Structure 1
């Protein structure tokens, strides 16, 4: 029981009465003492059932999974957090595999990869395609391959997540966490897990089209500070392309029909100038972000060396104190 005493199992819920009891029981049977259920105002018996099975239950002030995670992080006292959905699609038996890289000091954020072992029917074909699309977009925009950034089963150090600027209210929270890991250089590992089918009585709170669009917009929005060259460059490229198309139309009309389109020509020129300016701004922003990251890494390295020096000094002081005590006794 003691090895998991530093871990808080965080379970955001909304109308999960059909599954929450089994989820809480499963993690308590694995030896987890601290199970925190953050409820988003369920209209069923989710909160009562979670309490009956031994979980600490809090009702969040707002709504949405992202809001639940943010409020919970402010409350949690344990140094490690195991985040899991309350719909019984994740196995408590996979928890040690997710937590081991944290406890061994090899990572500060661990993502469970559902695609490594997915039960038949656990995810619809539409959701599977959407997940692949979003993971590919993340890899292209942010330059890292985390295999399954939308996984609801992950673990992280409380300290690392408190450095993140998390603003998403709903299912975009996993995307924000993945982007913030890249942005802050947080050591991140991906481990294989089993993804189970949802219990028959448990309804999903996910809307594939609405939530998928929100996640893609979150990916793009966060590129502004993590990959500004892509963010501003994409807008600038579209503007230049639009200007070229309009300019080509004006040229064709002039040479073939001797018709001038002064207003369209002005718009085309402005679009090209605006696009080029955005491209230049994107390059400059990318240089600033790169320099900022290098400074942060330097500061963190200096702080780490300072901590090691202080620890060595304390150890040396303890050793001298012990020798002095021995001499005095002699």
Structure 2
């Protein structure tokens, strides 16, 4: 049974000197000895304070100062995490170490490989502005529409996952889009995902947030739509196709209306409208074909993974009992033949020794 020694608490940090020390101490007091702080080139005392609190501190080697949370998480898991389980949290005191066991329980019990902490289950007063709450609601709704699954809080920074499942994901985000990418990739690869309620606290007054609502919100929406190209191509190409068809229909309606009412023809506009409709139909057809290819590919991937798991299980269980018995019998027979051969040589050796002793006695 897994325990806290099998967990690495991962804390990406950038200029978190006001909060990093109590965050590290809180997880260590909760029984987590493996606390890893990966720093994005802080200009304050974040690294020194984290090390003094008992954390292992490494600095990002890819990118420059403040190169992004996404890069920090990828680099940490790929290069510095040796434990099979990872508990990911922010270093700003918004997440409680007391919720760690609840986050890890689905992993330890084998019910999930990725766990998301739902901040909306117990959000304390002042923890999130109304603007951010609205943005989160819109993004969660968009995720469910585009990727076909509602995960309550895909932007939550409190995550628990197996290191093996994380390494199966294709992640490219540099900044706060890492949470969105992980959610999309979990759906895409069929990673069992659980959502558990957590408490979300406001940041201390002295601590400054690195989040920019409009910029980061726009980045997340673009990420959601961009990743639909490989996860839900029917939506990705279909939305553009329907938009193109709608534009073509509007242009065509205008041309017909102006011709009937005012007897004015618009050949160029009519041609543009026709091209737009044809393009939209082609995109819809391409989306349907792409969706079929993705579905078949997922099924084949699932079957290959099942075969790989079976082969791995067979290798771990060892050779069949009959084979083992046969090998033991062969080994016993070989041993017996060796003993017989040694026994046959012993009389000659004893005779030669006796002869040598007799010759020496006569000479004496």
Smaller-chain TM-score bracket: over 0.9
Tell me: CA distance 1:11–1:317, structure 2 relative to 1, closer, same or farther (3 Å).
Answer: farther
Q: Deviations over 1:31-52 (max 9, x none)?
A: 1121111111112111111111
1:87 aligns with 2:92: yes
Two-structure CA RMSD over aligned residues (Å)? 1.9
1:234 aligns with 2:269: no
Tell me the SS of whatever aligns to 1:111: strand
1:136 aligns with 2:141: yes
User: Distance in 2 between the 1:316 and 1:215 partners?
Assistant: 56
Tell me the SS of whatever aligns to 1:68: helix
User: Distance in 2 between the 1:237 and 1:98 partners?
Assistant: 41
Residue 37 of structure 2 corresponds to which residue in structure 1? Answer: 37
Measure how far apart 1:59 and its partner are: 1.4
1:268 aligns with one of 273, 287, 298: 273
Higher relative contact order (CA 8 A, sep 6+): 1
1:122 aligns with one of 115, 122, 127: 127
Q: Deviations over 1:118-165 (max 9, x none)?
A: 111111111111111101110111111111100000011111111111
Q: Larger C-alpha radius of gyration, 1 or 2?
A: 2
For structure 2, the 5+ residue unaligned runs are: 333-364
Measure how far apart 1:97 and its partner are: 0.8
2:310 aligns with one of 305, 308, 315: 305
User: Distance in 2 between the 1:14 and 1:139 partners?
Assistant: 31
1:200 aligns with 2:205: yes
Measure how far apart 1:216 and its partner are: 0.6
1:8 aligns with 2:12: no
Tell me the SS of whatever aligns to 2:3: helix
Measure how far apart 1:263 and its partner are: 1.0
Runs of 4+ in 1 over 4 A off after TM superposition: 314-321
Tell me how many residue pairs correspond in the alignment. Answer: 324
1:71-82 aligned at under 5 Å gives the runs 71-75=75-79, 76-82=81-87
User: Distance in 2 between the 1:64 and 1:219 partners?
Assistant: 18
1:64 aligns with 2:68: yes
Residue 189 of structure 1 corresponds to which residue in structure 2? Answer: 194
| Of 162-171 and 312-321, the range deviating more from structure 2 | 312-321
User: Distance in 1 between the 2:149 and 2:225 partners?
Assistant: 15
For structure 1, the 5+ residue unaligned runs are: none
Residue 291 of structure 1 corresponds to which residue in structure 2? Answer: 296
Measure how far apart 1:315 and its partner are: 8.3
1:219 aligns with 2:233: no
Residue 51 of structure 1 corresponds to which residue in structure 2? Answer: 51
1:97 aligns with one of 98, 102, 105: 102
